[in-house]
């Protein structure tokens, strides 16, 4: 660090310190340079959402006017344009002006850990979930992680993580997720809906390779919060490369089936898979939710930033 930087740019020093701390905890899932970019972003809630703590999202709760109402301490990632530099000069403290009520939001991460999500797909789902977690916790939102369990007909739940201090525990739990078993998507969605808490934002990360994907997606908007569906796929899910007489094994149930795959059959399958992709995307968007499709071999940083910013999830 060059001498004199602290006095010249106190905001930059604070932000850099937060990025360094976050990089240590998220290094197993996200490269430090991506974490640095994520800490400058914010979840873009499309509806006014009531939370429980002071945060940085639009709230349906307003004061008597839109005029200045109060100050709060600056946190790295805040909009620098709202820092009161006159107050900093007088008090040597970084304070933000508040003009309307602001809330945190509850972000529910619903991660598919069924057998079809093994390998690169689950790793990419973890990384995208970690990215949402970094953004949310940097902005002092609350994050709850739910997973599709191995044998239960519901979703498994862990503790809620709040603010930057909760990041290490969230990353550790994400890193430890393993894939096995079937996909009780509709039951898991219903179970998540039954959990207490404000509407918030629900982020589903799944390959949706289950017969009840549509039923599950129809249920989730019932909470009336924001819904984001991250559709995680391998290229082989859409355009399989195998040809010949084969015995295929269901990754979730272990059932086997003998098939004979010719070039024509492979082409028909690819056409049906493309139609299914369009059906899923259309169904999600008609429900008012954001839809993001990613492939496990896409470049992580490019696909994540492009998918989330173009879909309006991050800003």
Q: What is the 3-state secondary structure (H, E, C) of 69-105?
A: CEEEECCCCCCHHHECHHHHHHHCCCEEEECCCEECC
pLDDT tens figures, 70-92: 677 887 767 787 788 888 888 88
Phi, psi at 154, each rounded to 5°? -135, -175
Which residues, at least 6 apart from 283, have a Cβ–Cβ distance to it below 8 Å? 214, 217
Whether the CB-CB separation of 153 and 184 falls below 8 Å is answered with yes
Least Cα distance to 38 among 19, 20, 25 occurs for 19
Q: What is the mean pLDDT of the segment spanning 282-303?
A: 94
Q: What rounded mean pLDDT belongs to the chain?
A: 81
Instruction: Give start-end residues of each CATH 3.40.50.410 domain in the chain.
Output: 104-310
Least Cα distance to 292 among 269, 276, 308, 268 occurs for 308
Whole-prediction pTM value? Answer: 0.75
Distance between CA atoms of residues 68 and 71, nearest Å: 9
- What is the phi-psi region of residue 200: left when phi exceeds 0, alpha when psi lies from -120 to 50, beta otherwise? left
pLDDT confidence bin for 69, thresholds 50/70/90: low
| pLDDT value at 126 more than 80 | yes
pLDDT confidence bin for 68, thresholds 50/70/90: low
| pLDDT value at 99 more than 90 | no
Three-state SS at 283: helix
CA 167, chain centre distance (Å): 14
Predicted local confidence at residue 149, as pLDDT: 61
Whether the CB-CB separation of 101 and 39 falls below 8 Å is answered with no
Angle, CA 231 vertex, CA 153 and CA 39 arms, to 5° = 105
Predicted local confidence at residue 249, as pLDDT: 87
Predicted local confidence at residue 190, as pLDDT: 84
CATH fold for domain 104-310: Rossmann fold (3.40.50)
């Amino acid at each position: 660090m060059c001498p004199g930087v602290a006095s010249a740019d106190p905001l930059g020093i604070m932000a850099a310190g937060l990025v360094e701390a976050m990089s240590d905890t998220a290094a197993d899932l996200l490269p430090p340079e991506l974490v640095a970019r994520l800490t400058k972003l914010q979840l873009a809630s499309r509806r006014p959402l009531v939370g429980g703590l002071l945060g940085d999202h639009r709230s349906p709760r307003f004061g008597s006017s839109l005029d200045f109402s109060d100050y709060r301490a600056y946190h790295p990632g805040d909009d620098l344009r709202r820092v009161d530099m006159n107050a900093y000069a007088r008090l040597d403290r970084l304070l933000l002006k508040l003009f309307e009520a602001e809330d945190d939001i509850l972000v529910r991460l619903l991660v598919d850990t069924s057998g079809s999500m093994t390998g690169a797909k689950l790793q990419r789902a973890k990384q995208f979930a970690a990215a949402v977690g970094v953004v949310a916790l940097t902005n002092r939102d609350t994050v709850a992680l739910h997973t599709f369990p191995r044998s239960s007909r519901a979703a498994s739940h862990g503790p809620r993580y709040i603010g930057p201090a909760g990041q290490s525990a969230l990353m550790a739990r994400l890193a430890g997720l393993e894939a096995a078993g079937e996909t009780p998507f509709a039951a898991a969605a219903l179970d998540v809906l039954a959990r207490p808490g404000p509407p918030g934002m629900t982020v589903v990360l799944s390959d949706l390779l289950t017969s009840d994907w549509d039923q599950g997606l129809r249920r989730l908007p019932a909470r009336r919060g924001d819904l984001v569906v991250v559709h995680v796929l391998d290229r082989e899910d859409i355009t399989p490369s195998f040809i010949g007489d084969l015995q295929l094994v269901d990754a979730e149930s272990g059932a086997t089936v003998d098939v004979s795959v010719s070039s024509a059959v492979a082409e028909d399958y690819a056409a049906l898979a493309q139609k299914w992709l369009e059906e899923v995307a259309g169904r999600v968007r008609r429900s008012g939710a954001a839809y993001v499709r990613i492939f496990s071999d896409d470049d992580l940083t490019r696909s994540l930033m492009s998918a989330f910013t173009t879909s309006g999830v991050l800003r």
